[in-house]
Every structure is written in C-alpha cells, then in structure tokens.
C-alpha cells in the first residue's frame, strides 16, 4: 500500500486541502510494549467498526482466507501426487479418477472463492461508506464549540482524509485478509516442511528474521518520507483545486492567471516525482534484496531436498514426488512470507493513519445518555422526538447576561469583556458594532454553543449551562449570517422535517403555507415546477433547483419562523437581499417575529429604528444600550458615527 | 447560436485506441523518453526470470533420476555419483546467480520506473487543468458540460486507474507476452492440441473481465452520480459551518437517514455489477477446468505409456501451471488497457476538443480612446431559455464612469461578462471601438479590463504574485506603488517579508490573513497593477460595517480616477462619484441619468432610493 497510499494522496485532481496526518502519528518515543498495546487498541477499533457496518464480513473474510490457502496447499501437492502415480506405475483408470478428483476440488474452491468475492466486493464498500457515515453522525453529536476549534477541524479532516482519500478501511480489510490467508498458508506449509526437516524450517525462519529487519528499515524510512512529502502534497492539492474552482474562473481569464497556476503545479509535479523517485530507489533496493533472499531460500530447499533423495546421510531418503513437494512448498513458503510481511507493514501503517479517527471518535458528545446508539436512526424515533419536545416547552421570558467574559479556544484576546445586560420578553433588540466587535459571538453564547470564561447567562433566572440543551434550543429560532440549507425539499427545509412526514399531516402543510406567504418565499417557489416541494441542490437531485443568495436567505428566515421559538435571533439576515426585499423584511418585522423576544444584528443601521432598543458593542464591551432616539443624541458616539455614515447617502 | 449547443456535441467521443496510443507515446517521448530503454531492459530480465523457475526442476530431476538407484550412503563415491553431485551443485549455483541478477534487477527496475510513470499522469492532470483554464468561459457555466469535463478527468485520478494504469500495464506487458509465448512453444512442441484450451481460457478470462468492466463503464454516469450524492451528505456534516443549523433545527436524523438511503442506492448498484462479474466468471472457470482435465490426462497417460520421463513430465506440468498464471496476468493487463483506455479516451476527447469555438482571432486595435457599445443585446445562459438581457442598448464613452444598479438578478453581472467577452450575446452585438467582441481574440480583449470581483478571495501565493498575477514577471516597485494607491501598503510593509509575504494560512502557517475590506484593497491593487483601459468594480455584498463600506467606496472612486469605468452597486447610495447611473430591471435599461435627474424623475430609482433610505430619512424630518 505504501505506493498506493502516497500516490493516491498526492494526485486526486479535485482534492481538498490535505491535512496533517503524519506529524501527529509519530509515536517513536513509545516503548515496544506500549506501541503494541496501542496497535491492539486501534486494531480492535477497526475490527469493531467493520463489524458494526457488516456483521458477517469478518466470517466471510476468514472463509475466503481458508479457501485461498487451501488452493495453495493443493497446488503444492499436485506435482507430488502425479509423480508418485508415475513412479508407482498406477493403472490409467485410477490416475484418471485422481485427475477428476483434483480438478473437481479445484473447481469447487474457485467457485466458492468467486461467490465470496462477490460478497466482499459489496461489503467492502458498505463498510467504507458506513464508517464515513459514522464520522458524519459523530460530528452531529459533538458539542458545538468543538466545531469552531481549528484543532478539531484538523483532526476530523485527517480522520476523513485517511478513510476517504487513502481508503484506509479498505486497505485494512484487504491486508487483514492477506495476513489471514498467508498466515494460514504458512502454518500449513510449515506443517508439511516439518515432515521433511526441522533444520530446513529453522533455516527458513532464520531468513524470516533478515526480511523482518529489512522491512523494518523500510518502515522507518517510509515514516520519515511521508512526513516530508505531506507539505508538498498539500500544496499540490491546493493549486490543482484552484485551477478548476468555479469562483476563480473569471479572474483566471481576465488576469491571465493560467501561467501562474500552471507554473506552480509543474514545479510541484517535479518536486513530488523527485521525492517519489528517492523513495522508490530506496524501496527498490530493499525489495530487490528480498527477491534475492527468496531465490536463496528456493535454492537451499532444492539442494537440501535433492540431498535427501540422493543420500541418507542428511536424513531418511525421499522419493522424487516428495522432492517436488518440498521444493514447491518452500517456494510457496517464501512467497507467503514476503506477502505476510508486506501486509503486516501495511496494516501497521493503516493503523497509524487511523489514529486521528480513533481520537475523533473518542471526543465527548452532547447528552451522552440519549445518544448511545447513533447512526441507525428512523423516522419513527424522529417523530417521537418531536412530540416529546413540544410537550415540555418552556418559553424564554427573561435573558440576563451577568458580567460575561468570553475568549475563543486557541485565542488569547477575549472577544467579550465583562458584558452585562437584561432583555425581557417581547423586546426587540438591535445589536450594532464594527466588524469583529463580538456581535455574533454574543448570540452564539446565547445559543449555548460556547460556555463563558466567567460570568453567567441566566435564562428565566436559571444558569444557561444547567438547562437541558435540546429543550432550550427548541425555544431558539435563529438565522445566522452563514446559515446553511440542506439538500431536501424547500418545505422540508422550512419545517425541518422529511417530506413523507409533512405530506401525511395537513397541519404541517397549512402551517408551511402561511409562513411561505408571510416571508414571500412563494414569490419564487410558484415559478418552480414542483413549488415548495422542489428539492434543493441540483447535483444531488436531478429535478432540483439552486436558489440565489437572496432566495436562500428568505427560506432560512421562513425556517426560523416556522420553528416558533420564543427567542428569535437574526444575524445579518438580509445581507444577500436586494434593497426592495430587505425593505419588505423590515416592514414586516413585527408580524414576522409575532411578538416574541428578538435579537437583530445588522450593518444596516436603519434596522435599529424599528427595534425597541439598540445594544452597541465596541471591542467586546457595551458602548450603549438604549433606544435609537437616545443613542443618536450623543453626537460623538460610535453609534451616531455609524448611523450618519450611512444616512448621508440617503439625503433627499 | 452556439451557446445552446449540447455538451455532447462539444466534446465528441472520437478518440480511437490508436490515437490514444499515439497520444500516450508522444507524452512519453516528450516528458521521459528515458523510460523506453528501461522498459526494454525490464522486459529482458522479467521474461527470463520466470522461465528459470520452470527449467530448474526439470534439470534437477534429470540428475536425480539418474542417481535414484545409486543412493549414496557414505563412504567412497562412484564417479557417476560425484558427477551428479557436482552437476546439481553447479545447476543450483548458476540458477541462483542468474535468478538473483534477473529477479533482483527486474524488481529494482520496476521500482525505478514507478515514480517516472506517475509523472506522466501528473502531466496529463496539468493538461486537463490547462484546458479548463483556457477554454471559453461560457462552458464553465454549463453544469452538464462541467459534469462531463470532471468525468473526463477520472482517468487521472490515481496511480491505479486510468492513464497511469495503462502505462504500467503496457510497460510490463511485453515481458509477460514473451514468457507466455515461450511456454506456448514448449507445450505446443509436445502437442499442438495442448495449447488450444489454455488459449480459450485466456479468451474467456478476458471476455469476463471486459464484459463486467464494460457494464461498469456504461453505468459510470449513474455511479458517479450516486457517489456524488452520497458524498454530498457526508460533506454537509463534515462542513462545520452546517453545525449551528443542524443543532438548532435538529436536522441530524434527517441527514443521516438520507445518507443511509444514498449508501443503500450505491450498494444496490454495486450488487448489480458484482453479480455480473460472478456470472461472467463462470465462463473462464469452465474453460480452466476443462483445460486442466485435458492437459493432465494427456500428460499422465503419455507418461504412463512411457513416452515422457518423469523430469519431462514435471517440466510440462509446471510449464502448464505457469502458463495459466501468466495468461491470467495477460488477460488482466489487456483488459486494463482496453477498459482503463475507455476512460483515457474520454480524457483525450476533452483535452483535444475545440473549446474555443466561440472566440475570434482579431486583435484589439490599440488606441488611447475607448468606446464600448451594446447594440440590441439579448442574452440567455447555456441550457436555459430565459432571457437575462433583452434588446439592451448602452454606450460607455471614453473616460466615462458609469454606475450600474438594479435588484438581484437584474442582469448586472451578466452585462459585465458580455462586456469583457467572457460570454457573447445570443443576439445583437457588443462593440469595442467598433470591433465586435465575437471576432476578437479573448486574450487580447481581456487585456483591456481590470475587474474587481464581488467577493474574490486571494490565493495562497505571495502578495507580489497575487498583485502581479504572475510568478515570473513581477515589477516589485510597481507592486508597492499600486499597493500604496489602494491603501494597503502600510499593512504589507510591516510584514518581515514585505511584498514577498505569503497570503493565507493554508500553506504557510505564518501567512497573512486579510479582512474583508483589506481583501478588496488587494484586489483593487491587482486591477491597478494591470493598468487597464477599463476598470470594472463590483461592490461586495458581504457584511462590511458602515465604516469599512465607506472606505471601499472611496477606494473605488480613487481607482476609477482618469479611467473609463463601470461600477456595479448594490446600494444605490454609493454611486455619487459616477457620471451616469443606469438602472437595470428585468433585463433591460429602465432609467438612465445622473442621481439628480433620476431622483427628479421620481421613477423606479427614486422609489428604490426612498425605500432603502426610509429609516434614515425619517431622521432628517
């Protein structure tokens, strides 16, 4: 796999940036015992992951290995059987039966192998995708703050990269099978050889050690090699991706960037090949030496077996049939030995690559208690989930920030410094400030996505951290500036429910209809062939559609309103809307939020006018918290400056 | 009109296997002709090596058989015994030396060629990318075409498929063929009938492999579609920016359920092809069994009849076994060449397609004056019938600054694409100093324009490279000059590497990160560096705060000084520095004039202005 892995990694044309892997996986400082233990843990993890995805797969693999080693066993016996027949001058008819018997066994083995292969081909892919889905499911179960932690992102990318681009799962399966196959074969062949001579067995085991040493030196070299090539790989992947990235195509033409990108890629091509060449020369030498050792083993076995035929000095004489058998067995033995070493080295390497996956899957999750059986989900429990939720709704009627300070993970400078304010039920608050003042951070804290460094956020008098996460989030309807829609139908996005559930219930349908017209989503959906049942994302759904930025934003607003949370958060919800559509949202703001408590973040200063109060943030601190009319009185304040800056363009 | 052309007609499946061979050969000669002698040496070594293994047992058994009746039990050896021992020793020694040299070296050589063969693939990747970056832009906005193009690149995906696999198999094929031929001769000399069944099973293996792969190739569109769908769901969760919405709207179950369904679809597809493979494989299985029965029966009966010595029997038996193994490899190799060749051919179809059909060859006539006219221009995008622009007439005069306003989807960006020649009108014409853009060489046309795109992000190169748009031709003084004019030099100067500082942190952890407003300045600097006759500025819609926004306006107006310019505005208020404002609506111009004129007209512009400024204006009253 060494070759395959390295090259695969390099050259996928549309590769994503390639994360660091090897940097994290050098555990050379561990003792052998610890290393073995680590590999055992990882092997169990891989084994378990495979078993979870396809319970019978391991059995199939074992069966396959047994059949394959039986085939090798049969192959070494065939010459002996027939040479014995010839020497004993058997009658033709019994020889004839023998031939049929052998061929029949061979045929059955091959047929069984084909049958198993058919299964393996499918199960392998099932496991591969299944593990990818496990990672996906895991991401959805992580506490949100992990998702903004660059280290976690890197970890996830590494885990994903290993499984997706380097197909570690598939390689583990393949090599696991090889180890089984050749392991069984070696046992079988050793049993045969032990009949002949223990001395020969000892000799073979001795060469085993030499090969092990060679392989080990290769392994050490390989690890260093991958460490060095990873940076080049990442660059290569980056520039290759840029060349076909849609966002860049116009600039590539207008500014003639093709030579720049091509030159970079061509330079990297040469660098990669130089690296690979060096590696291949090294591994070529080692493999060449191994090939020579294999020949040596063959020669020794032939020589020794010949001696056994020709003289009784080295042991009891054997026949020519046995001579063929033992010589053939030795050759198969050395092949098996080489293969098992290769497979072992590759499994070990795969297990190294599995480290990020292991770490990632071990991250703690939200609400561990109800999430014990992930991934396998059904609409049924989704439904019961929903019903449960609506049963224990606890509307938010008061929000208090009490001296809240917050710093992002991996950052030194606090984003919010000692913030205190109170918001009561039904108030509409506009939050304004320069880019980077902490506006979005504030609402993220309110969504319980992060925990403050110090201070408390009280919801209805209770500390937000002590609330049940899911029932609290049930009360929050939010549109973030980087909101995302999912590739389901428009109605499904709005109701956050699968189509089949919506279609079964008139209540859902009529509620969606109301919202759709309130948010004027219907203005564009009525032109679509399937209306609000049209699915999003053309590359997934052939009949689907792509919405413009403004249209998506409307759907996102509709989704938040459908949820009917008692706290509405709108973070730059109109940035992609044109002036008219924006004005429409402003006009209907009161109706849209239906008297719920609302937080509104916008760079359009005009939005402050229809809110009850404005919270001005300046470098993480509150620079004002009052209605617009009051704030504007202070001519020198940040707020007045910001407002006038925009107002000057609208003087009539 | 060519714009509406189906992509299937643009990329024609016309490459033949012969042309593919020629293209691959030319690439080899161009990039690494040293591989040819490599292949020759490899072939010699790798042909002889397996044959040694077939001859060795024969020679040994011949010796042993002579000695069978005279087992040496110690003491004085007879001369025959001595001779046999010496012979065996010599045979083994010669075998070892030959095998060590041939086996060791052929392994080493095949390793040496490995990376060099990979390089050829990388070079094809570069060819594909070159094609994507230089083809007429409008192809890029044709989703079906791009689907096709991306599929064409499948042949360069890994070292174990497509073009590299073909190279590898071709590299190793001669050795296999010669070895197989030698074995065929041995067996054929004994009895011609012996080689019929092996040849038939070779055909059957090839047939089974080829049919299965042809089935998969036929399915490739569905397969890539299914895989893409599957990965889309995986990407949703793996893209952490979905995290907030997934948690807030409890979308987890919905997504994972959909993911499961996609896996199910893919598995069903796979079961089809693996079922096919299983059934096709029954043919070779049948022929192999028949062939083994016939061969063994023949050899055993002949040997029993005393017509074959044991050593010869053993020789033919191992020849037969080796032949079967080599035949399997040959069938696989041939199939790989023809099957992966299908994908390579698709790639070559793409690389060789004429994707610049729309471009003319005329050079733009250089002049200090410039005038751009839109005459009755109508336009719709490829694969769409909806007109984005309809009978549009507009003239941009020399040194004029024109503002383009209108709601989303009014056709503002489309107008820019038509002006710069990225697209051509469906009907009507765009004239640059009287020359129709349709007849102009795009490269010469692009030289006229400096465009600051709405939200373009820099790439991870140095500041100087980004601004100059080049690696090789950079004038550092001018880079600094334009950075200063764009108001970004002070930020760059304080970096230890100055304009040699790398942008972004993706490739360099000490790279420079710029804010939204600074990125705009960088892009303005790039446009200035180009010193174009026409400047086009597309106002960013991203959330810039009021102060940053004003700064961008100021930068824009500075950049437009003494230039002919087009300014696309999303907020009406920012157009004051322009000579004329054009309001686009529904694909045509609804109002033209200065701000004052349009306001006095109390038309659509006025209405939009009032609505947008509503909350600000109340303040004034």
In this complex, which of B409, B446, B614 lies closest to A548 when CB atoms are compared? B409
B181 to chain A nearest CA, in Å?
Answer: 23
Q: What's the CATH number where A575 sits?
A: 3.40.50.300
Q: Inter-chain contact A13–B156, Cβ cutoff 8 Å? A: yes
CATH C-level class of B14-352: mainly alpha
State how far the alpha carbon of B354 is from the alpha carbons of A13, B7, B8, B424, B443, in Å. Answer: 22, 12, 13, 17, 16
Q: What is the pLDDT of residue B541?
A: 63
* Mean predicted confidence (pLDDT) in B266-275: 94
A71 shares contact with chain B (CB less than 8 Å): no
User: B369, B533 in Cβ contact below 8 A?
Assistant: no
Residue A425 has pLDDT above 90, yes or no: yes
Give me the interface pTM, i.e. the ipTM. 0.90
Q: What is the pLDDT of residue B455?
A: 80
Q: Which residue has the tokens 């007849």?
A: B439
Write down the pTM of the prediction: 0.88
State the Cα–Cα distance between residues A613 and A597, nearest whole angstrom. Answer: 12
What percentage of chain A has pLDDT greater than the value 70? Answer: 91
DSSP code of residue B426: S
Q: Which DSSP string corresponds to B344-393?
A: HHHHHHHHHS---TT---BPPPP-S---EEEEEEEEE-TT---EEEEEEE
Residue A381 has pLDDT above 80, yes or no: no
Chain A residues with CB-CB distance to B546 below 8 A: 603, 605, 642-643, 645-646
Q: Inter-chain contact B158–A605, Cβ cutoff 8 Å? A: no
Q: What is the pLDDT of residue A383?
A: 47
Residue B621 has pLDDT above 70, yes or no: no
Backbone φ and ψ of A621, nearest 5°: -125, 160
In this complex, which of A140, A303, A575 lies closest to B541 when CB atoms are compared? A575
In a domain, A15, yes or no: no
Model pLDDT for residues A501-546, shown as the tens digit of each residue: 999 999 999 999 999 998 889 988 988 889 999 999 887 888 888 8
Q: Which of A321, A342, A361 is the last residue of a domain?
A: A361
Model pLDDT for residues B322-375, shown as the tens digit of each residue: 999 999 999 999 999 999 999 999 999 999 999 988 888 899 988 889 999 999
Residues A168 and A295 in one domain: yes
What percentage of chain B has pLDDT greater than the value 70? Answer: 97
In this complex, which of A87, A287, A302 lies closest to B92 when CB atoms are compared? A302
Model pLDDT for residues B521-553, shown as the tens digit of each residue: 999 999 999 999 999 998 876 667 888 888 888
* Mean predicted confidence (pLDDT) in A21-39: 63
Model pLDDT for residues A266-314, shown as the tens digit of each residue: 999 999 999 889 989 998 999 899 889 989 999 999 999 988 888 888 7
Band of pLDDT at residue A385, cut at 50, 70 and 90: very low
Chain A residues 177-206 within an 8 A CB cutoff of chain B? none
Q: Could you give the residue range(s) of every CATH 1.20.1560.10 domain in chain B?
A: 14-352
Model pLDDT for residues B298-309, shown as the tens digit of each residue: 999 999 998 988
Expressed as residue numbers, the domain containing A646 is 390-481+565-589+596-650
B530 to chain A nearest CA, in Å?
Answer: 8
Residue B545 burial by CB count (10 A; 0-12/13-18/19+): exposed, middle or buried? buried
Structural fold of domain B372-456+528-620: Rossmann fold (3.40.50)
Residues A86 and A194 in one domain: yes
A607 shares contact with chain B (CB less than 8 Å): yes
Chain A residues with CB-CB distance to B516 below 8 A: 435
Chain A residues with CB-CB distance to B359 below 8 A: none
The chain B residue lying nearest A447, using CA atoms, is: B248
In a domain, A249, yes or no: yes
In a domain, A367, yes or no: no
User: B329, B322 in Cβ contact below 8 A?
Assistant: no
Q: What is the pLDDT of residue A329?
A: 92
Residues A195 and A294 in one domain: yes
Q: What is the pLDDT of residue A384?
A: 45
Residues A34 and A152 in one domain: yes
A615's enclosing H/E stretch is strand A613-618
Q: What is the pLDDT of residue A24?
A: 43
State the Cα–Cα distance between residues B63 and A95, nearest whole angstrom. Answer: 26
Q: Could you give the residue range(s) of every CATH 3.40.50.300 domain in chain B?
A: 372-456+528-620
Q: Which of A361, A378, A413 is the last residue of a domain?
A: A361
Q: Which of A40-44, A261-265, A367-371, A571-575 shows the lowest mean pLDDT across its residues?
A: A367-371
Q: Is the dihedral of CA A281, A287, A289, A295 positive or negative?
A: negative
Q: Is the dihedral of CA A479, A484, A488, A489 positive or negative?
A: positive
The two structure tokens encoding residue B603? 């038309």
Q: How far is CA A10 from the centre of its chain?
A: 18
Q: What is the pLDDT of residue A27?
A: 46
In a domain, A493, yes or no: no
The chain A residue lying nearest B136, using CA atoms, is: A253
The chain A residue lying nearest B89, using CA atoms, is: A303
What percentage of chain B has pLDDT greater than the value 90? Answer: 63
The Cβ-side half-sphere exposure at B165, using a 13 Å CA radius, reads: 23
State the Cα–Cα distance between residues A332 and A344, nearest whole angstrom. Answer: 18
In this complex, which of A8, A576, A645 lies closest to B159 when CB atoms are compared? A8
Interface test with A, best of B411, B616, B620 (most A CBs within 10 A): B616
User: B363, B382 in Cβ contact below 8 A?
Assistant: no
The two structure tokens encoding residue A634? 């202070």
Model pLDDT for residues B560-590, shown as the tens digit of each residue: 888 899 998 877 777 878 899 999 988 899 9
Q: What is the pLDDT of residue A29?
A: 56
Neighbour count for residue A436 (Cβ, 10 Å): 14
Pairing, β B427-432 against β B588-593: unpaired
Task: Give chain A's domain count.
Answer: 2
Q: What is the pLDDT of residue A374?
A: 40
The two structure tokens encoding residue B450? 């400096």
Tally C-beta pairs within 8 A across A and B. 511
Residues A149 and A29 in one domain: yes
Q: What's the CATH number where A148 sits?
A: 1.20.1560.10
The two structure tokens encoding residue B234? 């995986």
Residues A422 and A305 in one domain: no
* Mean predicted confidence (pLDDT) in B308-319: 90
Neighbour count for residue B134 (Cβ, 10 Å): 17
Q: Inter-chain contact B544–A269, Cβ cutoff 8 Å? A: no
Band of pLDDT at residue B155, cut at 50, 70 and 90: very high
Model pLDDT for residues B392-434, shown as the tens digit of each residue: 999 999 999 999 988 877 888 899 999 999 999 999 999 999 9
The chain A residue lying nearest B409, using CA atoms, is: A548
Q: What is the mean pLDDT of chain A?
A: 85
Residues A472 and A607 in one domain: yes
Band of pLDDT at residue A18, cut at 50, 70 and 90: very low
Q: Inter-chain contact B285–A110, Cβ cutoff 8 Å? A: yes
State the Cα–Cα distance between residues A536 and A202, nearest whole angstrom. Answer: 67
Residues A394 and A356 in one domain: no
B394 to chain A nearest CA, in Å?
Answer: 22
């Amino acid at each position: 796999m060494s070759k395959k892995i390295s090259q695969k990694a390099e050259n996928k044309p549309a590769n994503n940036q390639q994360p660091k892997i090897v940097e994290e996986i050098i555990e050379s400082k561990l003792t052998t015992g610890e290393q073995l233990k680590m590999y055992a843990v990882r092997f169990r993890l891989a084994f378990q992951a495979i078993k979870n995805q396809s319970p019978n797969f391991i059995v199939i693999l074992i069966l396959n290995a047994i059949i394959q080693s039986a085939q090798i066993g049969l192959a070494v016996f065939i010459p002996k059987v027939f040479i014995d027949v010839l020497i004993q001058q058997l009658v033709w008819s019994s020889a004839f039966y023998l031939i049929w018997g052998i061929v029949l066994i061979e045929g059955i083995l091959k047929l069984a192998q084909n049958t198993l292969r058919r299964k393996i081909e499918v199960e392998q892919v099932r496991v591969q995708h299944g593990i990818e889905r496990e990672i996906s499911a895991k991401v959805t179960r992580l506490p949100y703050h992990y998702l903004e932690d660059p280290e976690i992102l890197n970890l996830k990318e590494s885990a994903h990269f290993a499984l997706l681009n380097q197909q570690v799962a598939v390689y583990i399966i393949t090599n696991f099978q090889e180890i089984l196959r050749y392991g069984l074969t070696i046992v079988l062949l050793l049993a045969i050889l032990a009949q002949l001579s223990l001395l020969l067995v000892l000799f073979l085991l001795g060469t085993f050690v030499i090969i092990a040493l060679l392989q080990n030196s290769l392994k050490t070299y390989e690890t260093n090699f991958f460490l060095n090539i990873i940076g080049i790989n990442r660059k290569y992947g980056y520039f290759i991706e840029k060349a076909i990235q849609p966002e860049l195509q116009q600039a590539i033409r207008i500014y003639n960037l093709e030579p720049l990108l091509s030159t970079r890629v061509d330079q990297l091509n040469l660098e990669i090949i130089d690296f690979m060449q060096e590696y291949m020369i090294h591994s070529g030498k080692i493999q060449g030496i191994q090939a020579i050792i294999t020949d040596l083993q063959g020669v020794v076995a032939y020589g020794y077996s010949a001696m056994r035929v020709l003289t009784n000095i080295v042991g009891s004489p054997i026949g020519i049939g046995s001579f063929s058998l033992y010589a053939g067995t030795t050759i198969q033995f050395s092949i098996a030995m080489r293969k098992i070493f290769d497979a072992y080295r590759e499994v070990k390497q795969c297990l190294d690559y599995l480290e990020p996956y292991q770490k990632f899957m071990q991250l703690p999750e939200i609400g561990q208690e109800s999430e014990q059986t992930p991934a396998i989900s059904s609409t049924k429990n989704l439904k019961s989930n929903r019903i449960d939720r609506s049963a224990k709704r606890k509307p938010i009627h008061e929000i208090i920030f009490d001296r809240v300070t917050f710093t992002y993970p991996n950052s030194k400078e606090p984003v919010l410094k000692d913030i205190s304010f109170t918001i009561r039920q039904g108030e509409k608050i506009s939050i304004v400030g320069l880019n980077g003042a902490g506006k979005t951070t504030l609402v993220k804290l309110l969504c319980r996505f992060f925990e403050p460094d110090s201070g408390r956020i009280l919801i209805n008098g209770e500390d937000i951290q002590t609330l049940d996460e899911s029932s609290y989030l049930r009360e929050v309807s939010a549109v973030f500036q980087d909101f995302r829609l999912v590739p389901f139908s428009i109605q499904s996005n709005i109701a956050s429910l699968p189509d089949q559930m919506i279609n079964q219930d008139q209540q859902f349908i009529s509620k969606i209809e109301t919202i759709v017209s309130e948010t004027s989503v219907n203005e564009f959906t009525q032109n679509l062939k399937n209306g609000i049942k049209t699915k999003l994302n053309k590359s997934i759904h052939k009949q689907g559609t792509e919405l413009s930025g403004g249209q998506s934003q409307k759907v996102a607003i509709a989704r938040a309103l459908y949820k009917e949370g008692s706290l509405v958060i709108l973070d730059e919800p109109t940035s992609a809307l044109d002036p008219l559509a924006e004005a429409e949202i402003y006009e209907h703001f009161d109706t849209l939020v239906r008297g719920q408590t609302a937080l509104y973040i916008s760079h359009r200063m005009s939005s402050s006018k229809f809110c009850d109060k404005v919270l001005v943030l300046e470098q993480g601190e509150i620079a004002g918290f009052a209605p617009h009319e009051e704030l504007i009185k202070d001519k020198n304040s940040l707020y007045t400056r910001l407002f006038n800056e925009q107002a000057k363009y609208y003087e009539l | 009109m060519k714009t509406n052309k189906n992509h299937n007609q643009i990329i024609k499946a016309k490459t033949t296997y012969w042309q593919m061979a020629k293209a691959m050969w030319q690439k080899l000669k161009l990039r690494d002709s040293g591989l040819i002698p490599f292949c020759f040496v490899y072939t010699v070594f790798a042909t002889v090596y397996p044959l040694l293994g077939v001859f060795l047992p024969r020679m040994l058994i011949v010796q042993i058989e002579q000695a069978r009746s005279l087992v040496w039990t110690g003491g004085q050896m007879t001369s025959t015994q001595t001779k046999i021992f010496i012979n065996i020793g010599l045979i083994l020694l010669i075998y070892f030396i030959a095998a060590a040299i041939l086996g060791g070296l052929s392994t080493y050589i095949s390793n040496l060629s490995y990376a060099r063969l990979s390089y050829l693939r990388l070079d094809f990747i570069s060819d594909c990318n070159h094609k994507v970056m230089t083809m007429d832009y409008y192809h890029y906005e044709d989703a079906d075409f791009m689907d096709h193009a991306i599929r064409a690149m499948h042949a360069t995906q890994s070292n174990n498929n497509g073009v590299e696999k073909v190279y590898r198999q071709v590299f190793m094929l001669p050795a296999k063929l010669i070895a197989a031929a030698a074995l065929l001769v041995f067996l054929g000399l004994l009895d011609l009938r012996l080689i019929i069944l092996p040849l038939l099973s070779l055909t059957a293996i090839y047939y089974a492999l080829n049919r299965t792969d042809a089935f998969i190739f036929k399915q490739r569109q569905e397969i890539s579609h299914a895989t893409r769908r599957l990965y889309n769901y995986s990407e949703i969760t793996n893209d952490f920016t979905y995290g907030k919405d997934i948690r807030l709207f409890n979308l987890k179950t919905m997504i994972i359920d959909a993911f499961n369904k996609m896996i199910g679809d893919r598995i069903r597809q796979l079961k089809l092809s693996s079922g096919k493979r299983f059934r096709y494989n029954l043919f070779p299985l049948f022929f192999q069994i028949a062939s083994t029965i016939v061969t063994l029966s023949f050899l055993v009966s002949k040997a029993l009849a005393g017509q074959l010595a044991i050593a010869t029997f053993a020789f033919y038996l191992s020849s037969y076994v080796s032949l079967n193994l080599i035949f399997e490899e040959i069938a696989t190799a041939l199939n790989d060449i023809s099957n992966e060749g299908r994908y390579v051919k698709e790639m070559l179809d793409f690389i060789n397609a004429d994707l610049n059909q729309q471009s003319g060859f005329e050079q733009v006539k250089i002049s200090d004056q410039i005038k751009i006219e839109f005459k009755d221009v109508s336009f719709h995008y490829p694969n769409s019938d909806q007109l984005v622009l309809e009978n549009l007439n507009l003239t941009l005069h020399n040194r004029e600054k024109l503002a383009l306003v209108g709601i989303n989807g009014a056709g503002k960006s489309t107008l820019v694409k038509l002006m710069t020649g990225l697209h051509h009108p469906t009907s009507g014409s765009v004239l640059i100093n009287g020359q129709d853009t349709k007849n102009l060489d795009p490269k010469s046309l692009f030289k006229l324009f400096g465009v600051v795109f709405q939200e373009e992000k820099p790439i991870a190169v140095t500041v100087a490279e980004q601004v100059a748009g080049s690696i090789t031709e950079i004038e550092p003084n001018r880079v600094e000059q334009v950075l200063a004019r764009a108001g970004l030099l002070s930020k760059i100067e304080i970096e230890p590497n100055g304009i040699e500082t790398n942008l972004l942190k993706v490739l360099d952890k000490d790279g420079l990160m710029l804010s939204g407003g600074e990125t705009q300045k960088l892009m303005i600097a790039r446009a200035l560096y180009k010193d174009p006759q026409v400047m086009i500025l597309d106002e960013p819609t991203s959330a810039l705060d009021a102060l940053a926004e004003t700064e961008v306006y100021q930068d824009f107006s500075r950049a437009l000084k003494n230039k002919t310019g087009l300014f696309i505005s999303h907020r009406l208020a920012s157009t004051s520095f322009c000579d004329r404002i054009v309001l686009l609506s529904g694909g045509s111009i609804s109002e033209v004039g200065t701000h004052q004129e349009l306001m006095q007209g109390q038309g659509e512009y006025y209405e939009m202005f009032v609505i947008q400024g509503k909350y600000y204006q109340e303040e004034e009253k």
